[in-house]
Structure 1
Amino acid sequence: MNNTILVIDDEFIIKESVFDALEDEKYHFIYAENGEIGFQKYIEYNPVVVLLDLRMPILDGFGFLDKIKVMPYDLSSIVVLTGHGSDNEIEKCFSLGVSSFLKKPFNIFELRGLVRNLVDLNNTKRQVQTSCVVQSIISSILQLAISETQSNKRLKDILEFIIDLPIIEGVMQKGAIYIIDDTNGKMVLRESSGISSDLLTFCENISSDTCFCGEQIMNKVEHDRNKDILVPSHYCIPMKTNDTMIGLMVLFLEDNYVKKSEDYQIISEIASIVAIIVRNKA
């Protein structure tokens, strides 16, 4: 669930007031003192709610709204907090996609209830949107699995389709699928794409509870760059059928990419489908 709140205001006391009002809700707060910095953090953190002042130096609230261009299907809501709002400014705010308008000094209970409702609404929209996207992806993968392509090439086609998906941000066009060899318990490289021969040699055989980078598979799914063996950051996703692990999907990530829980949710569902396909010898 996304619980990031971006506060864009040049008054420190407002930041403190917002935190005091919402600290019991366990949100993740990001602050910016003007619209320009706020825009950069909006892009970087993808907040579920933005609390925005209108009058600030460098770039004011209207400039920020012009830059982000709020759309009806966006998964963020903008709440304007200002002590200077005229009727014309309020009308302009709503025309630019603002969800709500609160005048300073705001009532903390009103702010708390409003933010809570917007967070719940946007996360519900996010879940529905993600579910629809995942169903479309799964349908495409299943089509590849039953295609007339030679069976030894289908898994390669599926892997290349996955690493090219624009919905999974930050994934390089590099990935691998491992299958557990029942005879020795080792993880054997079944398919790969975009990986150098040196790295392929290093990754050929690994134990069934360890990623090739040395991390334990079940400890976490996001493994950081390993400079000793020139491995970039990557997602390491167990492939399971009926709660039994049969293999591993590895997707390599761009440097400095901020991993997102939504991405992992999508990849996990994809990995489950690939596991079924592998079990049925795609």
Structure 2
Amino acid sequence: MNEVPAKNILIVEDDDIMLKVVERILKREGYGVEIARDGKEALQKVQDNKYALIITDLMMPYANGFEIISKVNGNAEKRTPVIILSSLGNEDSIMEGFKMGADDFLRKPVMVGELVIRVKRLIDQNK
């Protein structure tokens, strides 16, 4: 398994505009960023690498965010923090994500300051 720098974040998002916005914000804050444009690509990256944090959409092609959360935290020695980033606002989806191991939820469109604070908090907690 390849080691990834402690501040490396995986963004899983099928909306190119949202992906670029989040990527730009995180890079500006000094984080290393890898991207996956669908669930299948994300599952491969998670299998091959370790991340300080994963930010994932819920509704995507091939594998959804719930599957990613389950895979990431299902059998890991050390949990990887996960933030759900979704336009889905229904409480059932959010609660399901938390039950599966998500650590936080951000609604799209994301507010820059809120994203930065939540990312820093989760990464600092898991050092």
Instruction: Write the deviation string for residues 141-185 of structure 1: whole angstroms up to 9, x where unpaired.
Output: xxxxxxxxxxxxxxxxxxxxxxxxxxxxxxxxxxxxxxxxxxxxx
Is 1:24 aligned with 2:28? yes
Distance 1:15 1:87 in 2: 24
Instruction: Write the deviation string for residues 54-78 of structure 1: whole angstroms up to 9, x where unpaired.
Output: 0001111112223334479634100
Question: 2:48 aligns to what?
Answer: 44
How many residues get paired? 123
Residue 118 of structure 1 deviates from its aligned partner by 1.2
| TM value normalised by structure 1 | 0.41
Q: Is the 8 A contact 1:79 1:98 kept in 2?
A: yes
1:81 is paired with a residue whose SS is: strand
Taking structure 1 as reference, are residues 60 and 92 closer, same or farther at Cα in structure 2, changes over 3 Å only?
A: same
Question: 1:102 aligns to what?
Answer: 106
One-letter amino acid of the structure 2 residue matched with residue 3 of structure 1: K
The higher relative CO (CA closer than 8 Å, separation ≥ 6) is in 2
Question: 2:115 aligns to what?
Answer: 111
- Please, which runs of 5 or more residues in structure 1 have no aligned partner? 124-282
Question: 1:9 aligns to what?
Answer: 13
**Larger Rg computed on CA atoms:** 1
Residue 88 of structure 1 deviates from its aligned partner by 0.4
- Aligned partner (choices 59, 64, 87) of residue 68 of structure 2: 64
- Aligned partner (choices 70, 74, 80) of residue 78 of structure 2: 74
Please, which moves more after superposition, 37-46 or 47-56? 37-46
| TM value normalised by structure 2 | 0.88
Question: 2:39 aligns to what?
Answer: 35
Q: Is the 8 A contact 1:72 1:97 kept in 2?
A: no
Q: Is the 8 A contact 1:71 1:97 kept in 2?
A: no
One-letter amino acid of the structure 2 residue matched with residue 18 of structure 1: V
Instruction: Write the deviation string for residues 2-40 of structure 1: whole angstroms up to 9, x where unpaired.
Output: 011000011111111112222222111111111121011
Q: How does 1:132-147 map to 2 (within 5 A)?
A: none
Distance 1:75 1:62 in 2: 15
RMSD of aligned residue pairs (Cα, Å): 1.8
Distance 2:114 2:78 in 1: 23
1:79 is paired with a residue whose SS is: strand
Taking structure 1 as reference, are residues 30 and 87 closer, same or farther at Cα in structure 2, changes over 3 Å only?
A: same
Q: How does 1:55-204 map to 2 (within 5 A)?
A: 55-70=59-74, 74-123=78-127
